[in-house]
Amino acid sequence: MKYSHLTAAVLVTGLSCGFLNAQTTLNWSGGSGGGNANMSGTGNWTEGISPGADTDLVIATRNGSGTIPTLLTGADYTIRSISFDNAAGRYGPDGLRIGPTTASSASTRTLTFGTADITIISATNEATVTFWRYNTSSTLTINLGYTGYGGINIDSTSSVTFSTASITGTGGIEKTGTGTLVLGTTNTFTGGLTISEGVVSIDNAANLGSTASVNTNGVIINGGTLQVTGGTTASFANRGWRVGAQGGTLEVAEDVTFRILGSMRNVSGEDGVLVKTGAGTLSLENTSTGTSGYAHTGGTVVSAGTLLLNAGVTLGRDEGAGVTVASGATLAGSGTVAGDSVLADGAIVDIGTYSAGVLSDAIGTLAFTGNLSVGDASFFFDLATTGASDLVQLAAGAVLDIGSGVFDLDNLQLTALAGFDDGIYTLFSTSETIVGTLGDTLTGTLDGRDVVLALGSNGTSLVLRVGAIPEPATFAALAGLALFGLAFFLRRHPARRS
């Protein structure tokens, strides 16, 4: 945490001088019967004091029996922190809700946190907490009225949700603890978001804070997960992304596309890995290069779903790690991947030209500046007029490793477009001799034509020959093999893009 050492230093200094800062802890009681709900009332706190700028609020139990009711802020005021602790089991079956007013009235309330470098909100022991406005005529605003970061610490059994209560102010948030923080509405805080542990969940990029001005540290992921659950949503160019030493995870739900238009770098001096999880699509669309683009050096792992590189995008740095694609996951698009990359057996590469996440009719080239190991991965290629097809292009000096006898026509899903005809189509190209040997299935048919997969001239490319199958001796020379495999039918595969 950014604030833990500072807090400890303040406490030690205070003790050594025989005093502490003027901080007061207020424990919720709910008044004589325990059923009152107004947080601004002095009689509803055990200490008989109203919340103020030097107070730390603890909401754990109440007088009398029953659960703690929906609490109402009751006024505008500034506090240091709130701790939600449900160890006594006094929160209701739907958890504890914080609102500005009752359901039958309207009010506008602002709750301000005025102190940086401390934990401003904590939730423990199965505490389910929701900040909401109660009705459409009311407003509850959470104001981060400090400069720097304030912590929101949520344990694994708890959650905190800002559903219809928005967060504003100059401060930032550091999410710690293994529980989940849900940002459920548009927020305008300007201090940035750091996810150090657990999960921050959003259904819209606007929930991540203001993009009115450029913030290269808009979102820092350093050990935690950003979970995206909504429909197609874009993170604007003014919001920069950083990956810390502990790495960061972007989890995109099924049928969701999350578009990142801003820059992405590692935290200075760190080289954590970006991990894409979830069945949805992460679309990278910033075509800037260098530190203004996607310049993180720790590499990218596609564990599930799709990582989409739009046309003109460069992912990573030559001196850094490249992309690792797991079995069942997909790397798609026509950008450039920097660094050495590895495709696991069962990984999918879907080449095509995308702009703003939308597929065009143009043939695409997916480029790699470093070495590429393809293993038993699957590739989708479109073939148009003679010689015009999707292409995997390796930079000068980079080596393509196809493994030992595993890569052949079974790994290719080929689509014949308008103009498809006899001739030679180059599918993979590099300046270095390809490492490895092709598998057994090297001949087949596509769109009524015979096809052969073979090594190109000098063994530096993989080509598809369309037309009459050559004599065995000629074919063996092309492929670098003694025999060619059984006939294989290559059909027009179902549309994989929409």
* Burial group, residue 279, by CB count within 10 angstroms (0-12, 13-18, 19+): middle
Instruction: Give pLDDT, residue 469.
Output: 59
Angle at 479 (CA atoms; ends 475, 483), nearest 5 degrees? 60
Instruction: Assess whether 176 and 254 both reside in one domain.
Output: no
**Residues 20-35, mean pLDDT to the nearest whole number:** 88
Residue 232 scores a pLDDT above 70: yes
Which whole-number Å values give the CA distances from 442 to 246, 276, 453, 455, in the listed order? 44, 34, 5, 11
Please state whether beta strands 461-466 and 449-455 pair in parallel, antiparallel, or not at all (unpaired): antiparallel
Instruction: Give pLDDT, residue 487.
Output: 32
- Give tens-digit pLDDT for 160-178: 999 999 999 999 999 999 9
Instruction: Give pLDDT, residue 289.
Output: 86
Domain for residue 397, yes or no? no
Picking from 321, 337, 370, the residue at the C-terminal end of a domain is: 370
E strand or H helix that includes residue 206: none
Instruction: Assess whether 248 and 158 both reside in one domain.
Output: no
Instruction: Assess whether 232 and 291 both reside in one domain.
Output: yes
Residues contacting residue 25 through CB under 8 Å, at least 6 positions apart? 47, 55, 56, 57, 58
Give the pLDDT band (50/70/90) at residue 475: very low
Instruction: Assess whether 350 and 240 both reside in one domain.
Output: yes
Range of the domain at 316: 211-370
Give the pLDDT band (50/70/90) at residue 206: very high
Domain for residue 436, yes or no? no
Instruction: Give pLDDT, residue 134.
Output: 82
**Residues 379-396, mean pLDDT to the nearest whole number:** 97
Domain for residue 460, yes or no? no
Q: Out of 24-28, 82-86, 213-217, 288-292, pick the least confident.
A: 288-292
Residue 262 scores a pLDDT above 50: yes
Domain for residue 327, yes or no? yes
Assign 3-class secondary structure to 416-471.
Answer: ECCCCCCEEEEEEECCCCCEEEECCCCEEEECCEEEEEEECHHHCEEEEEECCCCC
Give the pLDDT band (50/70/90) at residue 73: very high
- Give tens-digit pLDDT for 456-468: 989 999 999 999 6
Distance (Å, rounded) from C-alpha 44 to C-alpha 47? Answer: 9
Instruction: Assess whether 53 and 187 both reside in one domain.
Output: yes
Picking from 178, 209, 240, the residue at the C-terminal end of a domain is: 209
User: Whats the size of the chain, residue-wise?
Assistant: 498
Instruction: Assess whether 267 and 361 both reside in one domain.
Output: yes
**Residues 420-447, mean pLDDT to the nearest whole number:** 98
Instruction: Give pLDDT, residue 198.
Output: 99
Instruction: Assess whether 238 and 343 both reside in one domain.
Output: yes
Closest by CA position to 465, among listed 414, 431, 418, 430:
414
Residue 194 scores a pLDDT above 60: yes
Domain for residue 238, yes or no? yes
What would the two tokens of residue 177 be?
């603890």
- Give tens-digit pLDDT for 123-164: 999 999 999 998 888 999 999 999 999 999 999 999 999 999
Most confident of the ranges 93-97, 121-125, 211-215? 121-125
Instruction: Assess whether 88 and 130 both reside in one domain.
Output: yes
Burial annotation 148-165 (CB, 10 A radius, 16+ → b, else e)? bbbbbbbbeebbbbbebb
Give the pLDDT band (50/70/90) at residue 5: very low
Instruction: Give pLDDT, residue 359.
Output: 87
Residues contacting residue 5 through CB under 8 Å, at least 6 positions apart? none
CB 311 within 8 A of CB 334: yes
Query: How much of the chain, in percent, has pLDDT values that exceed 90?
Result: 81
What would the two tokens of residue 364 be?
């695409």
Domain for residue 291, yes or no? yes
Please state whether beta strands 71-72 and 55-59 pair in parallel, antiparallel, or not at all (unpaired): unpaired
SS3 11: helix
Please state whether beta strands 257-260 and 354-355 pair in parallel, antiparallel, or not at all (unpaired): unpaired
Instruction: Give pLDDT, residue 482.
Output: 30
Domain for residue 438, yes or no? no
Domain for residue 184, yes or no? yes
Instruction: Assess whether 74 and 46 both reside in one domain.
Output: yes
Residue with the bigger pLDDT between 456 and 291: it is: 456
- Give tens-digit pLDDT for 77-90: 999 999 999 999 99
Instruction: Give pLDDT, residue 103.
Output: 64
Closest by CA position to 341, among listed 295, 398, 397:
398
Instruction: Assess whether 158 and 44 both reside in one domain.
Output: yes
CB 260 within 8 A of CB 232: no
Residue with the bigger pLDDT between 56 and 290: it is: 56
Rg (alpha carbons) of the chain, rounded to whole number? 29
Instruction: Assess whether 228 and 205 both reside in one domain.
Output: no
Instruction: Give pLDDT, residue 456.
Output: 95
Residue 247 scores a pLDDT above 90: yes
Picking from 173, 189, 209, the residue at the C-terminal end of a domain is: 209
- Give tens-digit pLDDT for 264-279: 999 999 999 999 999 9
Closest by CA position to 96, among listed 140, 43, 44, 59:
59
What would the two tokens of residue 442 be?
């090297």
**Residues 15-39, mean pLDDT to the nearest whole number:** 79
Distance (Å, rounded) from C-alpha 68 to C-alpha 65? Answer: 9
Which whole-number Å values give the CA distances from 484 to 96, 332, 378, 445, 473, in the listed order? 69, 30, 20, 14, 10
Instruction: Give pLDDT, residue 98.
Output: 97
Instruction: Assess whether 203 and 220 both reside in one domain.
Output: no
**Domains identified in the chain, total number:** 2
Give the pLDDT band (50/70/90) at residue 95: very high
